[in-house]
């Protein structure tokens, strides 16, 4: 289906009103983007961040009356100096575009992450066949890659793990394929739990090999390894819970952390003796052993 997009350059103060007005005049979706190279890498807890200069894009079906929509927007926002720009959006099969860009990834000596629709480049390797669906985690992001690389280096035979913030299930499933006995997956997003179940089945794993739970339903257990690839703020808040579930001499692997946040996160886990920090781009992975 062909589409038109309406682009409006906005300030932080204008953005919410413009977003609401676009939905009122029939936009199928509204996207807000940075309009001045001002990165916001991690919001504060409970905060919905916006950029000082925000580009707002409303998506409309191609048969929309652009003049009528423009006039209605101007009438709804008489106090806002609006510069409206209509563009035709190229008609593509966006799902196929994304599928073409997701290629197999080597994550160490043994482990490959492979799109479920492609043949593994090394059939004899440990190949995790993945379709992330709507959940986070393909191995392409530095935080996920760093965790997968660490798992590839571990001896996981018969280990029990928690994958907290499991997303697509990629870390927990990798651990199972590398020899772990069981992984408990935990995520706040029901879509992530569904994606994890489907990806586990796609890799020939039994349903009870990686049971998944919302945090409120997750069992309080004691495991050999705790994996948590989320964000620095939640990692600090969750430190008592995550620490309590790692047995004596157990391992911790944390990511989703900017290099500038590493010390603050490590200080929230005093029970662990941390390894040297591993870094990829601006992101880091923290690993350590429970010593007290």
What would the two tokens of residue 188 be? 């706040």
CA distance 262 to 255: 9
Alpha-carbon separation of residue 222 from 11, 93, 241, 244 (angstroms): 49, 46, 11, 8
Radius of gyration (C-alpha) of the chain in whole angstroms: 22
| Beta carbons within 8 Å of 46's beta carbon, 6+ residues apart | none
CA distance 277 to 292: 20
User: Does residue 61 contact residue 91 with C-beta atoms inside 8 Å?
Assistant: no
What would the two tokens of residue 274 be? 């941390």
Burial (Cβ within 10 Å: 0-12, 13-18, ≥19) of residue 84: middle
Q: Which position has the token pair 């959006």?
A: 89
CA distance 258 to 280: 10
| Beta carbons within 8 Å of 15's beta carbon, 6+ residues apart | 32, 50, 54, 56
Map residue 78 onto helix, strand or coil.
Answer: coil
Strand partners, 127: 112
79: left (phi over 0), alpha (psi -120 to 50) or beta: alpha
Binding site annotation covers 165? yes
Binding site annotation covers 229? yes
Alpha-carbon separation of residue 141 from 121, 147, 259 (angstroms): 20, 10, 15
- Going by the annotation, the residues of the binding site are 144, 165, 187, 229
- Going by the annotation, the residues of the binding site for S-adenosyl-L-methionine are 144, 165, 187, 229
């Amino acid at each position: 289906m062909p589409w038109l997009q309406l682009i409006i350059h906005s300030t932080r103060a204008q953005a919410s009103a413009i977003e609401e007005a676009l939905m009122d005049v029939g936009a199928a979706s509204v996207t807000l983007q940075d309009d001045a190279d001002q990165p916001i890498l991690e919001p504060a807890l409970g905060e919905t961040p916006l950029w000082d200069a925000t580009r707002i894009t409303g998506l409309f079906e191609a048969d929309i009356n652009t003049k009528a929509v423009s006039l209605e927007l101007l009438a709804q926002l008489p106090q806002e100096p609006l510069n409206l720009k209509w563009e035709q959006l190229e008609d593509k099969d966006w799902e196929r575009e994304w599928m073409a860009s997701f290629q197999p990834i080597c994550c160490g000596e043994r482990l490959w992450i492979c799109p479920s629709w492609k043949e593994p480049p090394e059939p004899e390797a440990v190949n995790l066949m993945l379709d992330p669906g709507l959940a986070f985690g393909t191995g392409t992001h530095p935080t996920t890659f760093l965790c997968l690389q660490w798992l590839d280096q571990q001896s996981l035979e018969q280990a029990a793990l928690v994958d907290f913030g499991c997303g697509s299930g990629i870390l927990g499933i990798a651990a199972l394929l590398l020899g772990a006995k069981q992984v408990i997956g935990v995520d706040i997003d029901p879509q992530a739990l569904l994606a994890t179940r489907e990806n586990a089945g796609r890799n020939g794993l039994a349903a009870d090999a990686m049971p998944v739970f919302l945090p409120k339903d997750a069992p309080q257990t004691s495991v050999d390894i705790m994996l948590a690839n989320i964000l620095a703020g939640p990692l600090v808040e969750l430190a008592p819970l995550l620490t309590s579930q790692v047995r004596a001499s157990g391992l911790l692997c944390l990511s989703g952390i900017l290099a500038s946040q590493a010390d603050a996160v490590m200080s929230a886990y005093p029970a662990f003796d941390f390894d040297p920090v591993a870094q990829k781009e601006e992101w880091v992975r923290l690993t350590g052993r429970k010593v007290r």
